Amino acid sequence: MDDDRSTPIRVLIAKPGLDGHDRGAKVLARGLRDEGFEVIYTGLRQTPEMIVDAAEQEDVDVIGMSILSGAHMALLPRVVELSRSRGMDDVLIAAGGIIPDADVAKLKAAGIGEIFGPGTSIGQIAGYFREHARRRA
């Protein structure tokens, strides 16, 4: 656990790609707020560039992406790549949504920390972020 952290963990919640709704992302944003996180919500239809630009300006500890459209293999590794190229080496990147098991290992190999499928509780996600988000001075 993260007992030495005196400031809230900052999380960017983003919807990459062309999903038509963001119900799940909003429920998660609200749930994380209630878990004591500072959540920056960016809305629908974001490109990887927009997500990384926002994450850089906000200096977040975690980028959480929700994706249902099936474009995860194209979009999620790109976010990791762009983040690393900007020097954001210590930002935790995680994803959730509809992602086939067969792709999970590939995404993890590409630098996505964890993939949360349907049925995951907010408590599980909050616990994972607390455990794996970078520490700050």
Partner 1 sequence: MADLPGLLRGAVADERLALARLLTAIENDAPGLRELLPQLFAAGRGGHLVGITGPPGSGKSTLVNALTDEWRRRGQRVGIVAVDPSSPYTGGAIMGDRIRMMAHAADRDVFMRSMASRGELGGIAAATWMAAAALDAAGYDPILIETVGAGQSEIEIARLAETTVVVEVPEMGDEVQAIKAGLLEVADLLVVNKGDRPGADLAARHLRAMLSTAGGRIGRKPPPIMLTTATSGEGVAALADAIEAHRSVARSPQEAPARARNQVRRALAELALRRASQHRAWDSTLQSVSDGELDPFMAAERLLGEDDMA
- Which residues from 34-53 bind partner 1, rule CB under 8 A? 34-43, 46-47, 49-50, 53
- According to CB under 8 A, which residues from 49 to 108 bind partner 1? 49-50, 53-54, 56-59, 86-88
Task: Give the whole-angstrom CA distance, residue 112 versus residue 110.
Answer: 6
Of 57, 23, 69, which Cα lies nearest the Cα of 43? 23
DSSP for 30-67 reads HHHHHTT-EEEE--SSB-HHHHHHHHHHHT-SEEEEEE
Least Å distance, CB 41 to partner 1, is: 5
120 Ramachandran zone, left/alpha/beta (phi>0; psi -120 to 50): beta
Which one of 28-36, 72-80, 100-108, 109-117 is the stretch in contact with partner 1 (CB under 8 A)?
A: 28-36
Residue 108 CB, nearest approach to partner 1 (Å): 25
Tokens of 53: 């630009």
Using CB under 8 A as the binding rule, whether residue 33 contacts partner 1 is answered as yes
Residue 19 engages partner 1 in binding (rule: CB under 8 A): no
Q: Do 15 and 44 meet the contact criterion of CB atoms below 8 Å apart?
A: yes
Segment lying near partner 1 (by CB under 8 A), choices 6-14, 70-78, 92-100, 101-109: 6-14
The nearest distance, CB 128 to partner 1, in angstroms, is: 16
Compute how many residues bind partner 1; rule: CB under 8 A. Answer: 32
